Amino acid sequence: MKQSDPNIDLLGRDFLSVANLAGDEIEAVLELGLAFKQGKLEPAAQRQIAVGQTLALVFDKASLRTRVSFEVAIRNLGGHAIYLAPGDIRMGEREPVKDVARTLSRMVQAVTARISSDAVMEELAQWASIPIVNAQTDREHPCQALADMLTVKEHKPALEGLKLGYIGDGFNVCQSLMLICALLGIDIAVASPPGYEPQPEILEKARALAHQSGVEVVNDPDIAARGADVLCADVWTSAGLEAEAAKRRQDFAGFQLDGKRLSIAKKDAIVLHCLPAHRGEEITDEVIEGPQSVVFDEAENRLWAQQALLALILGPPGERTAKRGK
């Protein structure tokens, strides 16, 4: 596999945050993802990209889309995955994070980690001599953001200049969307109830990256929806926050993406939701099953976006390299 732009080089790189990539690097991932999805790469050559390479999947939460998409992606590239369930490692409890990082670095070629703690994710990357991919922390969900943008790219003629309206909790999915929209020239309006807005430092970073677009945070969901090309909803209560569910249902009342709210977006607006969805809470069944929903395209695109990311990070035989800076 040869990269179309010789200036794009992701070999050996970590992907802990959307902001680890520049806008043109994100575009390269999206273009390669579309090429994989559309069958433009010869299957035998595709299976040589990661031949002989092993991806460790280190998870501390249950997963459907993330686990399946990464396992299929590395298999499609000729490699294979080892899944390490929440009780298998217990980083920081059973043994120090730095010991886990150095042990895995001797045995596998990359790690995809879904761990709540950003501090643990950063320590894992600090001590590992192989690429670390963030499959979700409390701060970001960068792989979801790649899949979302791949989905938008499929359904819209151009990304730059679009408006994305996000309605819901200013948590990890939202924060990665803010960063990726800023890098790709997409206006984003986030509507969250008071007290549930994105972290100020992420908002500041997104605004610093947004040279050709706007980043807005409001408490009125109609402002986010009005004139949007893309509407995105997410669960009101993320995994690990179940004890807050009753309070959150009260606080998020009025922040549902329903048919009325969809009607104030553009007529050709598309609807995203990263799933799993709580139908009747953050989104109605009418919307998620409606003609403007691309939610299951979005779910499938986790596979293609991540396959492209792994292909560029791992590289084919003869182009592999140790992690930068190690």
Quote the distance between the C-alpha of residue 29 and its chain's center: 12
- DSSP per-residue letters across 242-272: GGGHHHHHHHTTT--B-HHHHTTS-TT-EEE
Quote the distance between the C-alpha of residue 279 and its chain's center: 22
Q: Is 234 a catalytic residue?
A: yes
Q: Is 141 a catalytic residue?
A: yes
Q: Are 312 and 32 in contact (CB under 8 A)?
A: yes
Q: Is 102 a catalytic residue?
A: no
The total of other beta-carbon atoms located within 10 Å of residue 179's CB is 26
CA–CA separation, 38 and 284 (whole Å): 31
Q: Which of 60, 174, 302, 307 is catalytic?
A: 302
Q: Is 144 a catalytic residue?
A: yes
Q: Which of 46, 143, 234, 261 is catalytic?
A: 234
Q: Are 319 and 11 in contact (CB under 8 A)?
A: yes
Q: Which of 274, 292, 306, 307 is catalytic?
A: 274
Q: Are 27 and 53 in contact (CB under 8 A)?
A: no
Q: Is 302 a catalytic residue?
A: yes
Q: Residues 142, 319, 176, CA angle at the centre, nearest 5°? A: 5
Q: Using alpha carbons, select from 135, 141, 137 the residue that is nearest to residue 166.
A: 141
Q: Which of 109, 136, 144, 307 is catalytic?
A: 144
Q: Please, which residues have CB within 8 angstroms of residue 9's CB and are 6 or more apart in sequence? A: 3
CA–CA separation, 40 and 79 (whole Å): 20
Strands 230-233 and 270-273: parallel
Q: Which of 114, 139, 261, 273 is catalytic?
A: 114
Written as six digits, the tokens of 274 are 């990263």
Active site residue ranges: 114, 141, 144, 234, 274, 302
